[in-house]
Amino acid sequence: MNGERTASLMQVLGLGTESDVPGYKTDERFGVMGESRHPDRWTKTTCGYCSVGCGMLLGVRGGRAVSVMGDPDHPVNRGRLCPKGLSEHHTIHADGRLTAPLMRREPGGAQIPVSWDEAVDTTVSEFGRILDEHGPESVAVLSTGQLVTEEFYALGKLVRLGFGLKHYDGNTTLCMASAVSGYKRSFGSDGPPGCYDDLAEADCVVLVGANIADNHPLLAPRVLENRDATVIVIDPRVTKTAGLADQHLAIRPRTDITLFNGILKILIEEGLVDREYVGAHTEGFDELVAHVGPYDLDRVAAECGVEADAVRHAALTIGRAERALVAWTMGVNHSVQGTETVTLLNTLCLVTGNVGRPGAAPLSITGQCNAMGTREAGFTASLPGYRAYDNDGDRADLAAIWNLPVDRIPAARGRAYPDIIDGVLDGTVKALWIIATNPPVSFPNRGRLERALSKLDLLVVQDGFSTPTTELADVVLPAAIWGEKDGTFTNSERRVSRVGKAVEPPGQARSDFDIFLAMAAALGQRDEIYPGWQGPEDAFDEWRRVSAGRLCDYSGMTWDRIEAVGGLQWPFPAGTPTSGDTPASGGTARLYTDGRYQTPSGRAKIWCISPEPISDAPNQHFPFMLNTGRTVEHWHTRTKTGRVDILEKLAPEAWVELNPADATRLGVHSGDKVRLVSRRGTVDDITVRVTSVVRPGEIFVPFHYDESCVNRLTLNEFDPISREPNYKQCAVRIEPRDNIGHQTLGVS
Amino acid sequence: MATTEEVTASAPVAFLGIASATPDTLLGQPELLPLDAGEQYRFGFAMDACIGCHSCEVACAEQNDTPIDVAWRRVGELEGGSFPTTRRFNLSMACNHCLEPTCLSGCPTNAYVKLDNGVVRHDADECIGCQYCIWNCPYEVPVFDQKRKIVSKCDMCLPRLEAGQEPACVGACPTHAITVEKVNVASWRADHAAADAPGMPPADISLSTTRISLPADMPPDTAAASDYRVDPEDPHWPLIGLTLLTQLSLGIVAATVATQLVGGPGEGTLAGGAAGGFIAGAVAMVASLLHLGRPTHAFKALRNLRTSWLSREVALFSAFSVASFAYAAVWRSAVRGGVPALGAAVGVVAVVLGVAGVYASGRIYLVPARPVWNSKRTLGAFFATALSIGPLVTLFCIERAQLDGGWIGVLLGASAAGTMVQLAVLAHLVSTVRRRHDRQHRGTATLLLDRFRGLFAARIALAVTGLALSAWALAVPVAGPAAAGRFGTSLVVLVLGEIIGRYLFYVTVVPYGMAANFFEKP
C-alpha cells in the first residue's frame, strides 16, 4: 500500500511514468510478450476447465505461474484458447486458497488449523467409528470431474476397496450421467463414438441443447470452418450458438422427444432410413416404426412451438446428409428423461447410418475437464474399465489384476448423488466426504440440500479453495489444484492428454493423489490397494493394465507418448503406432466403425421413447418457465473464475433474461432488480436483462452465482435411470422490486 | 456454415495464413506482409465469425499487462429482431487507428503520433493525464489509468508488429474474426462505409480504419445490449472550478474595464474589481492543475497550439492572467497617482485575451464525439456565465460610498442580460434533447430531466431568483450599502446556480462510445 502511494506520488510528480510503462520481452517460442508474463520455462499441460481438452503451455517464473499460451501443436485447439483458459494461471495464485488442514474440534466450534496427521487420522478414525456404529451405508463420498484420471483411479480403490464404502458418486451425475446411461442402453457401453474432426467433416451438424459458443468455445471454430455443412441448432433459447446455425428450431422446453419422434417419422416415410445399416447392425426398428406413427407433423409442430415446414426441412436435411453429426450437451442431459432422449439421438444416428464414419456420430460433448476420466477409471456408475458390477467375469478380471479375493470386488453400484443426499435426509448416511465440488451452489433445490448437509455427523471437504461447502465442513483438506499436480485428462473425444505440474501447491496443500495415499496409509491398506505406488504415474501404469482389452484401452499409452503427440484417443491398445502422419498416430478417432456394438448381440438397440409432461409446469401462480445454464466467462460455481478479475469484470453478477413482451407486462426494464420465486425458494435482487433471445413466458438464469443462486429455485427431480437432475424446467414467478439498478433509458 | 463464406475471402490480409481459416494454415507461422506506398495496417473484424468468447480481450490484457479497469479491447453485444428469429452479434473493437485521429489533434502535448504504418501510438512519457483525448475519441478508446495517472490505449501490439508478429487479439481469436489488414489510405478516405456498424459512432468523425464485415440480413432494429443504461459522466470538479472561475474572471475584468472606459465611478474605486478579476483567474489556473494526472508536467500543454484547443486555452488564459495582473497592478499604482489611460489600454488587452480564452475553453467541448456538447450552446453558456456573475462582483468591489443608482443599474442590467441568455441556452438544450432521438440526446434528456431533475429544477430556480432579485434592485433603486446587500444576495444565488449548472453540464453529457456488453458502460 505504501509502495503504491509512493508510486502514485512519483506519477503525479511526473517522475515515474517511464519505468512504469509495462515492458515487453521476447520469448523463444511465442515471440514478444508482456514482460510480467514472460516465463523462465513452459510446462505442457491441458486446460482444467471444460471437456474440450485444449492443450496449453503454462509459463512459470520464479516458482509462480505467470502466463498461459495455447499449444500451437495440440490437435484439439491448435494454439487457441477461450477466455477462461487464457487467464487460468491467475487461479493458481488467487485469493481464497486453502493452505492448511482445518478442523472443528467440537461441533459448532471454529475451523482451526491442524496438522495433516491429525486431519487424516481423525477422518479415517471417525469414518471407522461411524461405519462401526451405523453400518456400511453410513459414510458416502461425493467426488468430481476435476481430478486427474490417476487420482480418480486411486480414489475409487480407496473408497470401494479401502474403506469398503457402498455409496460413492460424483458431480458428474449432475452433468453427463444421462449420456453414459444412454450410450450404455443403445450401444452396450459408455464411450462417445465420434470425435471433434467430425464437426468439420460432417455435411450436417445437429447441435441439440448444446450452446457450444458459450460453453465449449473451442469447438465452435470447427463448425464455423465447416462451410459446406448445414448447421441445425435445436434449443429453446436463441443462444450464441444459434447464431452459427443455418436452421434454428427454437422448440418449447422438453419437447425434444416429440420433435425427434416426428423427425424419425418423416425419415421413415420419405425413405431416408439406411435400411442396410439398420438391418445389419440394430435391433428394434420395427417397433420404432409403429411407435412414431402417431407423431404427425402438424401435431409435432404445434407441441414444439415451431413451424411445420421448419421441422420437415430439418428432417430432410438430416436424412439426405451423407454424413450427419448429432452432438448434444446439458439441454438433453439435464432432464428427467435425459437418458431416454440420449437413446433417441442415438437412434436417429443409427437409422440414418450415421455411426462410425467420418463426420457421422452421436457425440455427447461432456462437461468437465475429466468427467470422462472418472467414467473410465472411477468406481461409480461402473467398475474401472467400463466393467459391470453385475458381471461376474468383469469382477473376476479385476480381482485377478489386483490380487484380491473376488468377494472384495463390489457387486452393485451404490447410491447415486441425489440418492446419497436423500440418504442423509432419511438418516442412512451420517458422514460425507466431498471432493472438489460445491453442492450448495450446484445441486438443485438448495434449501433441501442445505437441510441435508446440516444433518450430517461429519462433513469432510477436500478442495483447493474456500467455498460455501468448505465453510460447512468439520474437516477441511487443502488440495493442490490444476497447475500444481501431474496426471492425465480425457476429453469428450476420448483423447487422453497430459496435465503437468508447473508449481508447488501453496502452504501445506497437497495433491489429491497424496491425500489419498495418506488416507490409505492411515487405514493400514496402502500396500494392498496402492502396491509400490509413489506417484501418479504408478497409478497410470496400473490403470493401463486394468483398461487393457476394454473399450477404453490405455495399454499402449505412456505419459511420454501422450505428451509427444499432444493427446492419444482410446482405444489405444499396446502396439499401436504413434509415429508418422497416419490417422492412427493419435489413436482411435471413432468407435463402432465395423458396426459391432458392445451389446450381447453385437447389435445396437433402438428404443421407443414417449414424452412425459413437465411436473412443475407454469401455472397462474408461477407463470414463467425457468431455464438455467452458463456463460462463457465463468466455470461452474465460480470458485475459480470468480477469483479471476477480468472474468468477473465481464460477468460480475447473475441476470435473468426476460422477453420484451413479458417485461412490458411486468413494467420492468433492463437493469431493474426483481425477485424470482419458485415453490422451493427465492432469488432476491437479480438484474433483469430484457432480450428477445427467450420466448415470451420463458426466462433464463445462469447458475454460476452463489450470490443469486438459481438452484434455490430448481427442482429436485431426477432421471430415474441416470439420476441426473432436471435443472432445465420449473415454474417461477417474477416479483418486480424498486428500481435500484442503473438509470435506464426506459427502453429495452 | 454458409454465411461466413464471403467474410475472409475479401479481406486484404496483412498476415499470410491468418485469415484463411483452414486447419492447414493455422499451424503455420503467419508472415507479416510489408506495406506498399500509400498503405497502412488496420484491423478487420468479421462480425458473423465472432462467437462472443472474449478471448481477444483477455489476450490483450495479458499481452499488455493492462490493469483491470483499463481495457484496450472490448467486446460489445448487439441484438436485433424478435423471438424466435432474434439475431445476436458481437462487436470486438480496440483502437481504430483512424486516418484523422481526434485523440491526436486534440492532445495538447503531442503525446499521440500517427506512425508511417498507420498505428496511432500514444507516448506515455509525453502524457500529462488531461484526458482530453477521451472526450475527443468518438470510440472512447483511450482509457485513464488511475494508478499511472495517464491514459493508455491499443497500439496494435506495435512491439509484436515490429517483430513481424500478429497482435495478441488476432492471435487469440478462435474463429479468426479479427485480422490485421493492409488498406490504401486514399481509397479508404474516399470510401470508409465499411467502418460503420450498429453500435459504432459514425466513422466520418475520425475516419476509423477498422473494416467491419456485417452479417447478412441484420435486423434493422439491431442495437447494443448496453444501450439500456446511461451513466452520469465524471463531474470533473477541477474543471468546474476552472471554467467557472475563468469566466468569472473575464466577466469581472470586462465589467471593470467597461465601467472605466465609459467614465464610471471615481478614480481608485475600480482597483478592487481589477484585483478580483486577476485573483479569480489565478485560482482557476491552479484549480485546472488538479485535473491533470501529472500536474508538474502542465507546461507540456502548450505544445500543440497548431491543432489543440486545449493548448490554445492554456496559452490564452496564461496571457490573460498576465494582462489582468498588469491591469490590477496599474490600478494599484493609479491609487498612488498612476495613469488611468494606460490602465484602460492594458484592460482592453486583458479583455480581448480573456474573451479569446473563454472561446478556446468553449471550443474544447465542441467535439463530435459528445454531440450534446458539440453545439454553440456551449459557447453561449460560457459567455453567459461571465456576463451573469462578473458585473455583480465588479459592482461588489466598487467602494460602497461610490455606488449610485446609475452604475448599479448598468451593471445589474448586464448581469440580468447574461442570466437571461443562460436561461435561453437551457431552454434550447431541453427542447433539443427532447426532440432528438439518438441515444446521446435521449440519454442527456433522461439524466437531466429524470435522474438529476431536482438539481436541474434548482439550477433554473436559482437563475430565475437571481434575475428577480436583480430586477427588484433595479426597480427600487437605492444607493450605498443598502444596494450592496441586494445585489450581493443576487450574486450568491446566481453563483450557486452556475455551479450546479456546470456540474450538470459535465455529468449529463452522453458520449458516443462503442457498444459494450450488458454489464459494462458503453
> Which positions in chain A touch B224 (Cβ < 8 Å)?
none
Q: What's chain B's Rg over C-alpha atoms?
A: 27
In a domain, B324, yes or no: yes
pLDDT for the residue numbered A5: 59
Residues of A in contact with B111 (CB under 8 A): none
Q: Are residues A69 and A130 in the same domain?
A: no
A279: left (phi over 0), alpha (psi -120 to 50) or beta: alpha
**B231 domain-assigned:** no
Q: How far apart are CA A594 and CA B109, in angstroms?
A: 73
Residue contact A87–B58, C-beta within 8 A:
yes
* Partner-chain residue, chosen from B49, B84, B231, that has the shortest CB–CB distance to A224: B49
Q: What is the per-residue pLDDT for A283?
A: 97
Looking at the DSSP bridge assignments, the partners of residue A139 are A431
Amino acid identity of residue A166, one-letter, is K
From the list B54, B68, B232, the residue facing A645 with the nearest CB is: B68
Average confidence score pLDDT of chain B: 88
Cβ-in-10-Å burial (0-12, 13-18, 19+) of A652 comes to: middle
Write the CATH number for A262: 3.40.228.10
Cis peptide before B265 (omega within 30 of 0): no
Residues A356 and A590 sit within 8 Å (Cβ to Cβ): yes
Judged by DSSP in three states, A461 sits in strand
Q: What is the helix (H) or strand (E) element at residue B331, kind and residue range?
A: helix B309-335
pLDDT digit string, tens, across residues A339-348: 999 999 999 9
Closest listed residue to residue B331, CA positions, set B402, B257, B262? B257
B500 vs B351: CA distance, rounded Å: 26
Q: Which domain holds residue B302?
A: 237-507
Q: Are residues B336 and B220 in the same domain?
A: no
Contact A743 B451 (CB under 8 A): yes
Residue numbers in B near A647 (CB within 8 A)? 58
What ipTM does the predicted assembly reach?
0.94
Is residue A157 scored above 80 in pLDDT?
Answer: yes
Residue B325 shares a structural domain with residue B388: yes
Chain B's closest residue to A202, CA to CA, is B1
Considering the domain boundaries, does residue A346 fall inside one? yes
Contact between chains at A82 and B87 (C-beta distance less than 8 A): no
Strand runs labelled E in A630-697? 655-658, 673-678, 682-690
In this structure, the answer to whether residues A215 and A357 fall within a common structural domain is yes
Same domain? For B150 and B73 the reply is: yes
Yes or no, beta carbons of B84 and A306 under 8 Å apart: yes
B84 to A26: CB separation less than 8 angstroms, yes or no:
no
Q: Residue B404's pLDDT is what?
A: 65
List the single residue in B66, B228, B293 with the smallest CB-CB distance to A745.
B228
Q: Which residue in B149, B159, B228 is closest to A748 by CB distance? A: B228
For residue B30, the model assigns a pLDDT of 62
Distance from CA of B81 to the nearest CA of A (A): 7
Contact B215, B48 (CB under 8 A): yes
Q: Is residue A693 part of a domain?
A: yes
Query: Could you report the per-residue pLDDT of A520-537, keeping only the tens digit for each?
Result: 999 999 999 999 999 999
pTM over 0.90, yes/no: yes
Domain boundary residue, one of B224, B251, B269:
B224
Q: Which residue of B has its CA nearest to A88?
A: B58
* Set of chain A residues whose Cβ sits within 8 Å of the Cβ of B229: 670-671, 742-745
Q: A73, A93, A113: which is the final residue of a domain?
A: A93
Q: Measure CB to CB from residue B297 to each of A14, A86, A227 and give the nearest one.
A: A14
Q: CA-CA distance, A56 to A53, in Å (whole number)?
A: 9
Q: Which of B69, B124, B450 sits opposite A21 (nearest CB)?
A: B124
Query: Which CATH number fits the domain that encloses residue A77?
Result: 2.20.25.90
* A672-728 pLDDT per residue, tens: 999 999 999 999 999 999 999 999 999 999 999 999 999 999 999 999 999 999 999
**B487: distance to nearest CA of chain A, Å?**
39
Mean pLDDT of A312-329: 97
With respect to residue B516, please indicate whether it lies within any of the assigned structural domains: no
pLDDT at B478: 67
Residue that finishes a domain, picked among A60, A75, A93: A93
Q: Is residue A748 part of a domain?
A: no
Sign of torsion, CA B100 B101 B105 B109? negative
Helix (H, G, I), strand (E, B) or coil at A479: strand
Q: Which residue from A421, A465, A456 is spatially nearest to A635, judged by alpha carbons?
A: A465
| Rounded alpha-carbon distances, angstroms, from residue A543 to A147, A189, A193, A411, A536 | 15, 19, 22, 20, 10
Give, in degrees to the nearest 5, the angle at Cα A188 between A185 and A191.
Answer: 95
User: Does B36 fall in a domain?
Assistant: yes
For range A205-222, the mean pLDDT: 96
**CB neighbours (10 Å) of residue B339?**
11
The three grid cell numbers given for residue A435, joined into one nine-digit string: 471432493
- Within a domain: B512: no
Residue B522 lies in a domain: no
| CATH number where A141 lies | 3.40.50.740
One domain, residues B419 and B491:
yes
| Range of lowest pLDDT (A360-369, A609-618, B259-268, B353-362) | B259-268
Residues B403 and B452 in one domain: yes
Domain that holds residue A681: 624-736
- Statement to judge: residues B161 and B290 lie in one domain: no
Distance set, CA B289 to CA A18, B130, B239, B242 (Å):
21, 9, 9, 9
Model confidence pLDDT, tens digit, residues A533-587: 999 999 999 999 999 999 999 999 999 999 888 899 999 999 887 665 444 468 8
Q: Is residue A585 in a domain?
A: no
Residues A514 and A629 reside in one and the same domain: no
Q: Please, what is the end-to-end C-alpha distance for chain B in angstroms? A: 31
Residue A585 is predicted with a pLDDT of 62
**Number of Cα atoms under 13 Å in the Cβ half of residue A7:** 13
Classified as helix, coil or strand, A572 is coil
Nearest-Cα residue of chain B relative to residue A746 = B228
Residue B521 domain-assigned (yes or no) = no
Q: Is residue A655 part of a domain?
A: yes
Say if A330 falls within a structural domain. yes
Q: Is residue A69 part of a domain?
A: yes
> From the CB of residue A449, how many other CB atoms can be counted at a distance below 10 Å?
22
pLDDT above 50 (res B7) = no
Q: At which of B224, B256, B289 does a domain end? A: B224
Q: Which three cell numbers stand for residue A365?
A: 460433448
Between A and B, how many residue pairs show a Cβ–Cβ distance under 8 A?
Answer: 228
From the centroid of its chain, how far is CA A322?
A: 31
pLDDT beyond 90 at A747: no
Among the partner residues A22, A83, A250, nearest to B54 by beta-carbon distance: A83
CATH number of the structural domain spanning residue A700: 2.40.40.20
Minimal C-alpha gap between B378 and chain A (Å): 24
Q: Which grid coordinates are listed for A592?
A: 463402432
Domain match, A82 and A138 both? no
Q: Are residues B441 and B307 in the same domain?
A: yes
pLDDT computed for residue A634 by the predictor: 97
Report CB contact under 8 Å: B229, A695.
no
Q: Do B88 and A238 touch (CB under 8 A)?
A: yes
Residues of A in contact with B59 (CB under 8 A): 86
CATH at B177: 3.30.70.20
Q: What percent of chain B has pLDDT over 70?
A: 89
Q: Which helix or strand (DSSP H or E) is residue A4 part of? A: helix A2-12
3-class SS of residue A112: strand
A664: chain B residues, CB-CB within 8 Å: none
Label residue B337 by pLDDT band (50, 70, 90).
low
Q: Are residues A513 and A641 in the same domain?
A: no
Looking at the structure, tell me whether residues A45 and A141 fall in a common domain. no
Residues B260 and B378 in one domain: yes
Set of chain B residues whose Cβ sits within 8 Å of the Cβ of A26:
163
> Cα(A207)–Cα(B120) distance, rounded to whole angstroms?
43
Strand runs labelled E in B12-56: 15-16, 31-32, 39-46
B444-459 pLDDT, tens per residue?
999 999 999 999 999 9
Question: Using 50, 70 and 90 to split pLDDT, how confident is the model at A738?
Answer: low
- Tell me, yes or no, whether B518 lies in a domain: no
Residues A717 and A696 in one domain: yes
Say if residue B1's pLDDT is above 60.
no
Residue of A nearest to B516 (CA): A650
List the single range of A285-294, A642-651, B177-186, B486-495 with lowest mean pLDDT: B486-495
Query: Pick from B54, B82, B150: which is nearest to A633 by CB?
Result: B54
* Same domain for A160 and A200: no
User: Does residue A234 sit within a domain?
Assistant: yes
* Average confidence score pLDDT of chain A: 93
Residues A198 and A338 in one domain: yes
Same domain, A205 and A331: yes
One domain for residues B212 and B262:
no
Query: Is the bond leading into A720 cis (omega within 30 degrees of zero)?
Result: no
Distance from CA of B380 to the nearest CA of A (A): 28
Contact A724, A334 (CB under 8 A): yes
A408 and A319 co-located in one domain = no
Domain end among B197, B224, B251:
B224
Task: Say whether pLDDT at B351 is over 70.
Answer: yes
Sequential DSSP letters for A377-431: H-SSSSBTTTB-TT-HHHHHHHHHHHT--GGGS-SS----HHHHHHHHHTTS--E
Nearest CA in chain B to A14: B294
Note whether A83 contacts B124, CB cutoff 8 Å.
no
The residue that leads in pLDDT, B285 or A482, is: A482
**A86 shares its domain with A114:** no
pLDDT band at A363 (very low <50, low <70, confident <90, very high): very high
Residue (of A464, A375, A34) closest to A181 by Cα position: A375
Q: What is the pLDDT of residues B217-243, one digit of tens each?
A: 899 999 999 999 899 999 999 999 999
For B365-382, what is the mean pLDDT?
Answer: 97
Angle between helices B481-507 and B376-397 (to 10 degrees): 160
Which residues in A75-103 are b (16+ Cβ under 10 Å) and which e? bbbbbbbbbbbbbbbbbbebeebbebbbb
Helix (H, G, I), strand (E, B) or coil at A26: strand
* Phi/psi of residue B412, nearest 5 degrees: -65, -40
Question: Hey, what's the cell of A328?
Answer: 448434444
Q: Work out how many domains chain B is built from and give that number.
A: 2
Q: What is the pLDDT of residues B8-24, one digit of tens each?
A: 334 456 665 444 333 33
The total number of structural domains in chain A stands at: 4
CA distance A507 to chain B (A): 27
- Check residue A447 and give its pLDDT: 97
Same-domain check for residues B304 and B187: no
Task: Check pLDDT > 60 for residue B36.
Answer: yes
CB atoms closer than 10 angstroms to residue B410: 17
Examine the domain organization and report whether B367 and B439 are in the same domain. yes
Q: Across the interface, do A655 and B79 touch by the CB < 8 Å criterion?
A: no
Query: If we measure between CA atoms, which residue out of B520, B509, B518, B505 comes closest to residue B440?
Result: B509
Residue of A247, A321, A244, A358 whose CA lies nearest to A593: A358
Distance CA A151, CA A542 (A): 12
- Examine the domain organization and report whether B112 and B170 are in the same domain: yes
pLDDT of residue B17: 43
Cβ neighbours of A578 (radius 10 Å)? 18
